[in-house]
Chains A and B, each alone.
Chain A
Amino acid sequence: MPDALPTTGATRALRTAPRPGQEHVAQPLTEDLGAVDAVRTQDAPAGFWREAWRGMRRRPLFWVSGALIVLVLLVAAFPGLFTSIDPRTCALSDALDPARAGHVFGFDRQGCDIFSRTMHGARASLTVGVLTTLLVTVVGTVAGALAGYLGGWADTLLARVTDIFFAIPLVLAAIVIMSLASTRTALTVALVLASFGWPPIARIARGTVMSVKNDEFVTAARSLGMGRAGILVRHVLPNSAAPIIVYATVALGTFIVAEATLSFLGIGLPPSVVSWGGDISQAQGAIRTDPEILLYPAGALALTVLGFIMMGDVVRDALDPKARTR
């Protein structure tokens, strides 16, 4: 039997006997080699969303932010559960009175119960935040997904339109439009915020759709004879959802801040609606003497936003494909 003699680098291999430490040795077979590429069957099956959920559940931050969000939602939906005092029944004689039994936060400049107003203010913020986020997500996803999926002129058009909307800062645009609006309700505020808030989602959706549509499983679906629309709905969109969800969660928090800013400036929700932004604006006048009137609505606002952006962080970590593969 002829030897297997490497020809290249043979000059180095002329030595006949191996040197110390380089003798031919084989380990005894310590464990079963097993079948090549055997399937592990003991773990429970894990889909993408189920794995993400498992990952989130392990994080303490998820439970903290989740509890915050649930609490705020509860307050917004049923403020009556937390306070029986009408936020609009105020007596000027109580104005700026400190806390007393049944009125844990005290009274504001109009003599309204601050605790009650803080509880009832949640609804306005959440309604605008949730509505805006829904609108933005739907509009942004549809526009971005179509542009990314169809490409060509649709893509160019969207790129230009988003550039235009990007060029006008959100708060500035909202101030201009809101100051002109004849009716000011949660819906109008949400519409105004949404009409200038959708481009980032459209860009995100466009980017992920463009990368997903080049994946091989999409080509495989085409080879099976699936139509363009079918592929978009069944394969491309579900696989593009993660970054959109992450952005939407964080955006919810920022929209709540934007609403409060508008109300603070007096061009958001009208004073007849109890809102944190409005109350902060009211408290502004007494800031030197009674700063705590301002801190209650501001604190509630900050906690709410904190809940959503923390949740956004947790969701990002759970859904980020880069973090998953590592």
Chain B
Amino acid sequence: MSAPTPRTPPDPDVPLLEVRGLEVTFSTGGGPVQAVRGADLTVYPGQSVAIVGESGSGKSTTAHAVVDLLPGTGKVTGGSIRFAGREVVGLGRREVEALRGDQIGLVPQDPMSNLNPVWRIGSQVEEALRANGFRGSRAQRRARVAELLAEAGLPEAAQRATMYPHEFSGGMRQRALIAIALAARPRLLIADEPTSALDVTVQRQILDHLDVLTDELGTAVLFITHDLGLAAERAEHLVVMYRGQVVESGPARAILADPQHPYTRRLVTSAPSLSSRRIQVAHARGEEPVDDLLARHADEPAAPRDEVVVASHLTKVFRTRGRGARATGFTAVDDVSFTLTRGRTLALVGESGSGKSTAANMVLGLLEPTAGTVLFDGQDVGGLSRREQLAFRRRIQPVFQNPYGSLDPQYSVYRSLEEPLRLHRVGDRAAREARVRDLLDMVALPQDVMRRFPAELSGGQRQRVAVARALALEPEVVVLDEAVSALDVLVQAQVLDLLAGLQRELGLAYLFITHDLAVVRQIADSVVVMREGKVVEHAPTDDVFDAPRERYTRDLLAAIPGAGLVLPAGS
């Protein structure tokens, strides 16, 4: 392309993008695998459409097929993709290159890995201009880059353009990527989970900004997301994908109000953003919410009301190696106090860097507090003898975030579950095996799983094994550090259900660490909101949600996708 193509105003009633019967196949060592099977999709000019699905549903693959950016061995093996009336499948390399950038832009998922670390931000934006026919002097190009970055919401854009990606925060990088994607004014913007790697409040800001920007420019947006609440909030038309197929599509409001396909129905029931919204609506109407899992203690026999963990004035200062001899301290946790009651759930909520995980590690006795104490059942965790410490370990156990890292990849499930028993010399061989079988039953995994290795299990299954390992020594407290955050919506709901059941059955107390307020609404009795190491608000869950006292809490609540949706309660 030598000059920017003059653009006739698009006819709003002629589809911009029409995907019909799309099939994408990956060739793997075990033969061809169909990732997308007969997907249909229509986007009109200026419209926003969302593809919703869990990981492996083929949602990203469908979007990448549109711009011919399928990874690895992926190939379009059937169907058609028409963009502005022109068939895209089978186009030559140069023709596709001409399409990218000024016709179709892409905002990728992970801002950390999508900018080249060795080039300045400005030059990466400039590249997008030059590749799409922007001719101008150095100064003109520089001015345009600054304009674009400013437009994407970066303050002091001219100066920021000279910085490198590693000097940017995640949110700033995502703004730079948006500037790049919109640099050549594409008619369609594909936004592939554009904010799922960011903190919730930043997510909301960026999505709002993107909304306004594409509205002004008249750009059509194709959102790819796993969050039905977010999709419904941001797009007028939804396409739900499951295992490579489009199972349901239609206007967002119609799908939320009247989901037809059983899978869509499951999604509507399970999406935490929607659940928390439903609880909200139910409260407002004075009805009994059906979505909360743990918060209904009123109709249960009152548990013995003792406080099992009392954290008082916890402070943790990490020494960071400063430049020169100026070793500075970084206060990760600053005078934090909370109390965990037996049989109840306390949620520690905060964004990255809030100190919530550091606080949890101090409760677990894995980190020594710089100041303050943790009392477990009245005993100071800090001053335990070796023997007492071993006894303490049996009573409090963690489950961590990463389903791929929380189990030793070289241990079979049996060995992972037996290890705590063996370490604490519980029973003989036969007794231990029986206990392992019990534990698998508890987390609803078949006995066959015993002989398997973590690599063979899905993320949800691994987290269930991790829960079983935590329960092996019959603890009183379980610390769930973002334990469900990495899981797909339905699996997340399943694990949350399981946790709720186990709590009722075994009288466990949960310390639930999360960044996701929507989940908190369903599972926690009370909430500690943390920010930059400090406690912002500490109150019962309903109070926090219905009458937040602090501005920051309100920001967090507003950031839950779908907070603005009007929903039928108790569907």
Contact = CB atoms under 8 A, between A and B. Distances in A.
CB–CB under 8 A between A and B in the complex? Answer: yes
Interface of A: 1-9, 11-13, 15, 18-27, 29-30, 33, 36-37, 39-41, 43, 45-49, 51, 215-217, 219-226, 235, 238-239, 324, 326
Given A12-B47, A20-B42, A45-B451, 9 more contacts: A3-B257, A22-B44, A22-B249, A26-B248, A27-B247, A27-B261, A29-B261, A33-B266, A326-B72
A159 to B, nearest CB: 15
B405 interface: yes
Interface string B386-406: 000110011011101110011
11 contacts: A6-B234, A9-B211, A9-B235, A19-B44, A22-B42, A30-B245, A39-B449, A48-B455, A217-B406, A221-B419, A224-B397
B155 interface: no
Contact of B250 (A8, A25, A29, A326): A25
Interface centre among A11, A18, A22 (most CB of B within 10 A): A22
Given A21-B15, A41-B448, A46-B455, A27 B248 contact: yes
A46 B456 CA distance: 7
B372 interface: no
Given A21-B18, A22-B251, A45 B412 contact: yes
Given A27-B246, A37-B460, A239-B409, A8 B261 contact: no
Interface centre among B251, B254, B261, B364 (most CB of A within 10 A): B251
Given A22-B249, A37-B490, A1 B366 contact: no
Closest 5 CB pairs of A and B: A24-B250, A26-B260, A21-B42, A225-B393, A4-B256
Given A45-B452, A219-B400, A224 B420 contact: yes
B305 to A, nearest CB: 27
A47 B567 CA distance: 47
B366 A6 contact: no
Contacts of B257: 1, 3-4
Contacts of B490: 36-37
Chain B binding surface, main DSSP class: mixed
Contacts of A47: 410, 412, 453
B441 interface: no
A236 B460 CA distance: 24
B461 interface: yes
Nearest to B72: A326
B51 to A, nearest CB: 13
Contacts of B565: 4-7
B448 to A, nearest CB: 5
Contacts, number: 194
Interface string B442-471: 000110110111011110110000100100
B237 interface: yes
A8 B233 contact: yes
Contacts of B44: 19, 22
Contact of A223 (B233, B397, B408): B397
A18 B251 contact: yes
A6 B448 contact: no
A48 B248 contact: no
Given A9-B236, A238-B410, A215 B405 contact: yes
B399 to A, nearest CB: 8
A8 B389 CA distance: 53
Interface residues of B, number: 88
Given A2-B566, A6-B565, A47-B412, A36 B423 contact: no
A47 B13 CA distance: 56
Contacts of B215: 9, 11-12
Given A37-B494, A43-B456, A217 B566 contact: no
B423 A39 contact: no
Contacts of B245: 27, 30
A37 B405 contact: no
Nearest to A217: B408
A225 B446 contact: no
A224 B470 CA distance: 9
Contact of B410 (A13, A29, A48, A216): A48
B301 interface: no
Given A6-B233, A39-B457, A25 B249 contact: yes
B390 A225 contact: yes
Contact of B364 (A27, A37, A216, A223): A223
A4 to B, nearest CB: 4
A216 B401 contact: yes
Contact of B409 (A27, A36, A48): A48
A22 B567 CA distance: 22
A26 B261 contact: yes
B168 interface: no
Contacts of A324: 455
A23 B390 CA distance: 62
A214 B211 CA distance: 40
Contact of A24 (B249, B394, B452, B458): B249
Nearest to A51: B455
A235 B408 contact: yes
Contacts of B460: 36-37
B232 interface: yes
Contacts of A12: 46-48, 215, 236
A81 B275 CA distance: 77
Contacts of B493: 36
A39 B448 contact: yes
Contact of B48 (A9, A220, A222, A238): A9
A219 B566 contact: no
Contacts of A23: 250
A165 B398 CA distance: 43
Given A8-B208, A8-B234, A219 B18 contact: no
Nearest to B568: A1
Contact of B366 (A22, A219, A238): A219
Nearest to B221: A9
Contacts of A13: 236, 251-253
B202 interface: no
Interface string B160-190: 0000000000000000000000000000000
Interface centre among A24, A30, A224 (most CB of B within 10 A): A224
B564 interface: yes
Contact of A4 (B364, B407, B566): B566
Nearest to A11: B215
A30 B38 CA distance: 13
Contacts of B398: 219-220, 223
Nearest to A26: B260
B453 A48 contact: yes
A23 B493 CA distance: 29
A324 B29 CA distance: 12
